A and B are shown apart, each in its own frame.
Chain A
Amino acid sequence: MDTPVITTSGLTKTYRTRGREVTAVDDVDLTVREGEVYGVIGQSGAGKSSLIRCVNLLERPTSGTVTVDGTDLTALAGRGNRAGRELRRARSRIGMVFQHFNLLSTRTVQDNIELPLEILGHSGAARSRKALELLDLVGLADKAKAYPAQLSGGQKQRVGIARALAGDPKVLLSDEATSALDPETTRSILQLLRDLGQQLGLTVLLITHEMDVVKSICDSAALMERGRIIESGTVPELLATPGSQLASALFPVSGESGDPERTVLDVTFLGESTSRPVISQLSRTYNIDISILGAAMDTVAGRQVGRMRIELPGRYEDNVVPIGFLREQGLHVENAADAADAAPSVAEAAPALVKEGAK
């Protein structure tokens, strides 16, 4: 599980247009472990697309290296824009799913799925057997002879996924695969990706601008801004990181308290701690009144997660003991005032006590 399958180090892509230089991907180090679903999220123009295209070298990185499944792809690149035999072989072991499906309109669904197998030089019988098997897997067994124009968006993306899996890849790249779909279809496609990933032991790297995608299928995530990865980690790690922008975006809690004489805490529950009556225990044990300013429960990456913003009487320094109690229960506790301060900056939140004391 922990073997890295995709590794980029110092990956940089610079475009030169009319004398101006634009750095789309800036010194990105990314590690995707075997079997995980890794989401890179960012706004459009953040460089996500360039990043994922650099992974299978559809874009040539300006500098840095890309290693997929033990092969250094950047070493295979060769000169110019042409892909040599070695690189093409490596690419055939990496599946890719596109935002606009990119199905050939003149081929039937089955022939579209057979295309990667034609490129690999498989025989006709083997191709059609594999294509029908994959169509069955994505739930479109009855559409083999249809043309892409006769399918809905969600069905087209299912074909796109089946096609990406035709060459039995270990790695699947997903370039905004659900961005052109409606929410309902998005859910079913994400579900399919997740199921297939587990069933086939795929390692998935996906890019998206939708937090919901990360929330519903990713094991790990990275936040990209202006070409740089500014936060990354497994989803539980991120949720436990004080001041994590991804965590607060994945799981926003709101609620304001203007009173400086009171302490506002963000408490994150993960896994089984969600079902324990921690807050009432806290209240009874220390005989303090707790107000709940905001709370939410959700499933993130297949795990129950709760977040709660609570208010305790007294300053932060006076509440060290109850906070200690909460941490002992396995909860992640952070000072909401810190989180608010830390969020806009990239820097990690300073130790809470020092900051609070400085005020």
Chain B
Amino acid sequence: MTWSEMQPLLEQASWDTLYMVGWSTVIAVLLGLPLGILLVLTDRGGLLQNSVANKVIGQIVNIARSMPFIILMVALMGFTRWLTGTTIGREAAIVPLAIGAIPFFARLVETSVREVDSGLVEAVQSMGGSTWTVVRKVLVPESLPSMIAGVTTTIVTLIGYSAMAGTVGAGGLGDIAIRYGYQRFESGLMWITVAVLAVVISLIQFAGDFAARGLHRRGGRSGAAPKLRFLRDRTPAATGKTGTEPELTKAS
């Protein structure tokens, strides 16, 4: 197989992958974000404490999370056909991809939101803020850097899943790697596909890290002093007076 033969294949496959992953990420974030926040709010001691709702949501998330993607995809075929009118192609692949990613992202959101200092929630409550205010002004903005890291992880996982979506005729990079590379012994194309995937994933990870770090740098924790010193250790330039703290100079 020559490069001129490979190029259109690779191009089409890359677009297919981005299309599937992009849309399913958007859906997963839109639905997983409220789900993850609800998991925290309905938990014991939460602002909307409701153990029944918490257990139900938690169970659904757990079941969906524990199912291997390829099985989820097959199991969801009826639903996919009802929703998109077909079970093959890019659009059809978005359905199981999004549904697989929603609980995954919800758990990541839950972890991020739990890390927000409860003192901040208390402060907003003491100002007369409602639960919605707490979510909008505290929980989401304060956990944003960590949530962006969660989005990155979700995208990378979805790229992995999308390779399996190739088995329902959705196309994408994983699909050509299997169909051409494995089944037709075109190992050259397979390795190029692998390389393209590696580059795409690295770029996404880099962009995600960059965004998360950018948000984090202006922030840091407001409260605990030890945490602050830890932050300063990593960014000695921010202190501007490292000379007064000898252990800092040593650390940097």
Contact = CB atoms under 8 A, between A and B. Distances in A.
Interface of A: 56, 58, 80-83, 88-92, 94, 96, 98, 100-107, 115-116, 118-120, 147-150, 153, 156, 167, 173, 180
B127 A92 contact: yes
B141 A104 contact: yes
A119 B127 contact: yes
Contacts of B117: 100, 102
Given A88-B130, A167-B127, 16 more contacts: A81-B49, A83-B125, A83-B130, A96-B123, A96-B126, A98-B122, A98-B123, A101-B222, A102-B117, A104-B138, A104-B141, A115-B137, A119-B127, A148-B222, A149-B220, A167-B128
Contacts of B219: 105-106, 147, 149
Contact of B47 (A81, A89, A98, A119): A81
B70 interface: no
B228 interface: yes
Contacts of B142: 104-106
Nearest to A91: B128
B215 interface: yes
A325 to B, nearest CB: 53
Contact of B127 (A82, A100, A115, A153): A115
A272 B122 CA distance: 45
B228 A149 contact: yes
A211 B122 CA distance: 26
Contacts, number: 99
B126 A119 contact: no
Given A100-B224, A102-B223, A116 B218 contact: no
A102 B137 CA distance: 13
Which one of B124, B144, B215 has the greatest number of beta carbons of chain A within 10 Å?
B124
Interface string B112-137: 00000101101111111111010001
Q: Which 6 A-B pairs have the closest CB atoms?
A: A92-B128, A149-B220, A100-B223, A103-B222, A105-B219, A102-B123
Given A88-B130, A147-B218, A156-B222, A102 B119 contact: yes
A90 B220 CA distance: 32
B120 A102 contact: yes
A160 to B, nearest CB: 8
Nearest to A53: B122
Contacts of A107: 141
A215 to B, nearest CB: 25
B251 to A, nearest CB: 18
A303 to B, nearest CB: 32
Nearest to A84: B130
A58 B124 CA distance: 11
Contacts of A90: 128
A293 B71 CA distance: 87
A294 B125 CA distance: 49
Which one of B47, B122, B128 has the greatest number of beta carbons of chain A within 10 Å?
B128
A106 B141 contact: yes
Given A81-B47, A149-B220, A119 B128 contact: yes
B211 interface: no
Nearest to B238: A150
